[in-house]
Chains A and B, each alone.
Chain A
Amino acid sequence: MANIEHAPAAMSGYDAHAGHDAHAGHDEHADHGKPHGFWGRWMTSTNHKDIGTMYLVFSCTMFFIGGSFAMLIRAELFKPGLQFLDPALFNVLTTNHALIMIFGAVMPSFVGLANWMVPMQVGAPDMALPRMNNFSFWLLPFAFTLLIGSIFVPGGGMAGGWTLYPPLSVQTGYALPMAIFAIHLMGASSIMGAINVIVTIMNMRAPGMSLIRMPLFVWTWLITAFLLIAVMPVLAGAVTMLLTDHFFGTSFFNAAGGGDPVMFQHIFWFFGHPEVYIMILPAFGIVSEIIPTFSRKPLFGYDAMVYATASIAFLSFIVWAHHMFTVGLPVASETFFMFSTMLIAIPTGVKVFNWSATLYKGSISYEPPMLWAIAFLIMFSIGGFSGLMLALAPADFQYQDTYFVVAHFHYVLVPGAIFGIIGGVYYWLPKWTGHMYNMTLAKWHFWLSTVFVNVLFFPQHFLGLAGMPRRIPDYSTQFADWNMVSSLGGFAFGASQILFPIIIWQCVHGGVRATDRVWEGARGLEWELPSPAPYHSWTEAPAYSILEHGAPMHETHG
């Protein structure tokens, strides 16, 4: 096979750097050992950059698919009266929009970024377990073939919402096993990906990079990976119970048999709440990289940031029932979950405050990555505030399952997670491609997205408070105005996203040559590598001097 004859080349590709200072000698050797052909380069890849690229391309595709589902949802909700979707199909779209966005867009893009950046940032040659790395990626296309395929089988796809609550979800027909197996595959992929990240970080850091000197993106990913390994198996268990309840007559969620539908909700949210932090912690990390760079000032309160992230992760395991305030839990447990949920505002606040303090007395310039990071700061906080309101159990009786919740989680997910990801891509793209991208276009992308994401989601707060339930294809006339506004914002936001792949495409195929450091204020090992980063990152552990020089500023100055 292709890679056989390329093997020796690969070897020399390694040895080529023996004894070199990591600065030198890369460019001319950069392409050594880069196998060719689709099979050799991609399908059998064990290279963290290639696999990272595949992850990113995949997640971008999924973002567009999930997004077009969202466009259909918004079009249906454009005005009262059923427009063009059968209610059942509407539920299928809602369910799969969420599943695709969460498991197909956000999580894989984070893994893609981890693949690219973690080895570069900790001074490692590659991910710790390269073959498994390839496995975790290649499970995904098959998983989503199953999931998206399930939409087209007779009877339609899963329509019980992404939360898959029984007994409703168990009423699903042919799609049920397909979707469940798809989730199993996604889970396996996430777990292997997470193991790889943890092991890379724990085992492959350059000498001298102690845990407490790691860049925050690495820190947040370390903690995220732990969350993933802890909760993905639980989700697998939960959906397996759905499967057996449906096909093999078990009674987990059937009261007559001594089970309880609510039991599923407990198991699901034990996964589900950590899951939502899985979708934000890496974004926290990205923002914590970007803000110091463009403030030309070390991250304020590095240690506090690390501890805050850890506390958020810990708390995320003991708040799950805040999604279940209306299921009729005993008051005592509702009180407990209300308080524990409110606590999360504190570490999160610490992060927000430290980011703000990093801006203070900085020297701030507004390149695209910074713009996205700042938008993240403000709009994530808005989502956080609504989250805090939801945490008050009695108030949640009114909010639960309304568009207020939809507004909440889109604020933390879209201008939160998605903006974080986009910002990260704009931050590291020149390092990946060796070219600068079209700054003007990128700024257009930013401003359009930022304006319209608010037009899209802010009115949903009003809708929710005015009493519009979520997951409905049609609504009463007093909800008409804001739904139309939201839909228009949605179309505009969606359309603006088309700029993103265009900008990336251009950047990959040319543009101003990027310097090694790319951004004046950038610190960290990845910037010590040439741009574009060589095919094999740190084949020699970076010399201590480089580490010192490249260390996050909190070290060189603090």
Chain B
Amino acid sequence: MSTTHPAHVDSSKYYIPHGSPWPILGSVALFCIMAGAVSYLNDWAGAWAFIPGALLLFGMFFGWFSTVIDESQHGVYNQEVDRSFRMGMIWFIFSEVMFFAAFFGALFYARRLAVPWLGGEGTKVINGLLLWRNYAPGWPTNGPGHVGGLSNGTFSVIPPFGLPAINTLILLTSGLTVTIAHHALRTGKRNVLKIFLALTFLLGFTFVSLQVHEYGEAYRELGLRLSTGIYGSTFFMLTGFHGLHVTIGAIMLTVIWLRTLRGHFTPTHHFAFEAVAWYWHFVDVVWLGLFIFVYWM
């Protein structure tokens, strides 16, 4: 593997790794995962292929990142390489933003256009008269067909100023703690760094568990489910994907924390830390959008 100790490389040159097995293993892993998912969704042979895939994927990440960390620790990466990593991370986060944009777009389209049109508002008077008589458009809604929800087709939503508000505070705080940690890293206060980094991912995991709890209530009591019309669809897809990202972010924070315990990162040279911090701020911002447009308004 590329763990051939490249310590002797002169870092005046842009480091070009040679052969790495991780990408192809990653592809195989993803393929197995998807094969498993397909076979599960199609009721073929269950999701068994998922397991080796997931394991392989985990191994791939572990191997790939330890290779990179190892190289980084041996000072193989010069400023230019570091800059490549930063740019790469920024553009990756941009792509994530666009992914969420698709779902926010769906939310706004449904609320502002589709639902009113179904109710015969605006240019679509005929809809109300011809297809969906006595449907009063509004939000939240599970549509003129009252799709999903409780047995009587109704459902209620999660009040914004309960758990969601608390979760907002949690995430905002975690954004603060990670910034403090970053500052501590730059000023060489290792202990502050360790403590606040730990706080950050602990807050992250707390957020996730509260979300899980909230989902439980939504499903059991409120009749708010993934299948509860357009509201349920947008609600769970948006918060769900966000929750997934928080989980990933929190795991990455944990990894970074373990690395700080190992004494990695210097006040000047800590791309991995910054990358994770950026990612964390990104999930933070997405949540604000969710809190305002999904829960609150």
Contact = CB atoms under 8 A, between A and B. Distances in A.
A–B contact (CB under 8 angstroms): yes
Interface of A: 1-4, 6-8, 10-11, 14-15, 33, 35, 40, 43-46, 124-126, 128-132, 134-135, 138-139, 141-142, 145-146, 153, 174, 177-178, 181, 184-185, 188, 191, 194-196, 198-199, 202-204, 229-234, 236-238, 240-241, 244, 247-252, 254-260, 262-263, 266-267, 270, 330, 536, 539
Given A238-B102, A244-B226, A260-B110, A203 B30 contact: no
A244 B88 contact: no
B123 interface: yes
A126 B20 CA distance: 15
Contacts, number: 248
B38 interface: yes
Contact of B230 (A10, A188, A257): A257
B114 A260 contact: yes
B143 interface: yes
B20 A134 contact: yes
Contacts of B22: 131, 135
A138 B23 contact: yes
A203 B83 contact: yes
A134 B22 CA distance: 9
A83 B80 CA distance: 61
Interface in B105-134: 105-106, 109-110, 113-115, 117-118, 122-123, 131
Contacts of B102: 233-234, 236-238, 267
A146 B42 CA distance: 14
A181 B106 CA distance: 21
Interface stretch (B8-16, B198-206, B251-259): B8-16
Interface string B221-265: 000001101111110110000000000000000000000000000
A179 B158 CA distance: 35
A229 B98 contact: yes
A267 B18 CA distance: 40
B96 interface: yes
A260 B31 CA distance: 32
Nearest to B127: A255
Given A238-B102, A251-B233, A135 B87 contact: no
Given A138-B23, A257-B145, A195 B91 contact: yes
Interface of B: 1-2, 4, 6, 8-10, 13-14, 16-24, 26-28, 30-31, 34, 37-38, 41-42, 44, 64, 80, 83-85, 87-88, 91-92, 94-96, 98-99, 101-103, 105-106, 109-110, 113-115, 117-118, 122-123, 131, 141-145, 147-148, 226-227, 229-234, 236-237
Contact of B84 (A129, A255, A539): A129
20 contacts: A3-B19, A7-B2, A124-B14, A125-B13, A128-B87, A130-B16, A131-B64, A135-B22, A142-B28, A174-B44, A199-B91, A203-B84, A229-B91, A232-B95, A244-B226, A250-B227, A252-B230, A258-B229, A259-B230, A536-B16
B78 to A, nearest CB: 12
Contacts of B106: 237, 241, 252, 263, 267
A272 to B, nearest CB: 13
Per DSSP, chain B at the interface is: helix
A178 B37 CA distance: 9
Contacts of B34: 146, 181, 184-185
A40 B2 CA distance: 12
Contact of B226 (A248, A262, A267): A248
Q: Is the interface of A mostly helix, strand, loop or mixed?
A: helix
Contacts of B84: 128-129, 199, 203-204
Contacts of B123: 330
A125 B14 contact: yes
B6 to A, nearest CB: 8
Nearest to B12: A18
Contacts of B6: 11
Contacts of A233: 95-96, 98-99, 101-102
Contacts of B1: 1, 3-4
B90 to A, nearest CB: 9
B65 to A, nearest CB: 11
A191 B148 CA distance: 36
Contacts of B226: 244, 248-250
Contacts of A232: 95, 98
Contact of B105 (A174, A195, A267): A267
Contacts of A191: 92, 95
A135 B23 contact: yes
Given A129-B88, A195-B92, A7 B24 contact: no
A360 B30 CA distance: 53
A142 B35 CA distance: 10
B36 to A, nearest CB: 10
A132 B14 CA distance: 16
Contacts of A252: 106, 110, 230, 233-234
